[in-house]
Amino acid sequence: MKIAFFDTKKYDKKWFEQLKRAEDEIVYFESRLNSRNYYLVKGFEVVIAFVNDEIDSKVINGMVDLGVKLLAMRSAGYNNVDIKSANEKGLKIVRVPAYSPYAVAEHAMALLLASVRKINHSYVRTREFNFSLNGLVGFDLHGKTIGVVGTGKIGSVFIDICKGFQMKVLAFDPYPNKNLDVEYVDFETICRKSDIISFHCPLTKDTRHMVNEDTIKLMKDGVVIVNTSRGALVDAEALLQGIRSRKVGSAALDVYEEEAGLFFEDQSEAVLDDDTLMLLISMPNVIVTSHQAFLTEEALKNIAQTTLDNIKAYENGEKLINLV
């Protein structure tokens, strides 16, 4: 197979090169796939893409016209893909539904701990030999109520971690896991009763901006919000206002709703146009990481292996178990 690979990073290439078959040729492009460069797929039957590629109807129509038969997303999410156009053009789409739930769940807990124990501030201080403890008072997770939104594989692992801290766990999911020992409630109850709310659900029309001006009003004063799922679950402007009003005690974010074109890239010498992101990052009670929750060796290996297995199944005419 001749495969076009977009938005390439060193950590991606390592495992794909190790695991691909000798007869397969992968051509790596550093640029993100979009309407300005989709012509690069000419001569390729398969395209591997990522969550920040811009795969709208123009890109899909162009790729299909150039001979692309399969779009292999090396991610669980595919909200950046125009599914309707793909179906109309007969373009098959596969994804990686799970790569390492432990990687994402553990990162969520790392963000939560760093936030409530102010690890980020302590790190900066001690680098400058400032060993004062003033302003670093945190709180115990033990006994606190945490609301977990989404109880799939990642959410379930995160719940187990929370139970290890002896936290009280409330869960919300339209499709409850009957095998999970947890108390399910509606989202309004999550907002009203949780000291901490952590998101582990996909982005859909129903979950977009679950955190908004109205739901923040329902939350406890000083609530901690953790999001390692999809940025648009949280209305960033509403979150910023919640932080300014002191309603939101802190936020720990690995994703941001307008992250495309920003995250995964070195922006250290750029002047960002996104005022909301700049203000969020400047807040002392906000921690932002750059969509790195998935970034473990185990997860990267699983992503590469599942993506290549999806492509092999397509080539062999087998059932595509990860078909979107």
Q: Long-range contacts of range 58-66, CB-CB < 8 Å, 24 or more positions apart?
A: 59/33, 59/34, 59/35, 60/85, 60/86, 60/89, 60/91, 61/85, 61/89, 62/35, 62/38, 63/38, 63/91, 64/89, 64/90, 64/91, 66/38, 66/39, 66/41, 66/42
For 21-38, write each residue's pLDDT tens digit. 999 999 999 999 999 999
The model's confidence at residue 47, banded by pLDDT at 50, 70 and 90, is very high
Average pLDDT rounded to a whole number, residues 103-132: 97
Q: Which of the two residues, 215 and 52, has the higher pLDDT score?
A: 215
Average pLDDT rounded to a whole number, residues 265-286: 91
Average pLDDT rounded to a whole number, residues 245-258: 96
The model's confidence at residue 79, banded by pLDDT at 50, 70 and 90, is confident
The domains found in the chain, sorted by start residue, are 2-99+297-315 (3.40.50.720), 101-288 (3.40.50.720)
Does the pLDDT value for residue 273 go beyond 90? no
Does the pLDDT value for residue 261 go beyond 80? no
Beta bridge partners of 211: 234
Does the pLDDT value for residue 88 go beyond 80? yes
User: What's the whole-number average pLDDT of the chain?
Assistant: 95
- Residue 180's CB is within 10 A of a number of other CB atoms, namely 16
For 166-214, write each residue's pLDDT tens digit. 999 999 999 999 999 999 999 999 999 999 999 999 999 999 999 999 9
The model's confidence at residue 243, banded by pLDDT at 50, 70 and 90, is very high
* Lowest-confidence pick of 65-69, 236-240, 273-277: 273-277
Q: Which of the two residues, 272 and 195, has the higher pLDDT score?
A: 195
Does the pLDDT value for residue 6 go beyond 80? yes
> What pLDDT is recorded for position 264?
83
Residues with a catalytic annotation lie at 230, 259, 291
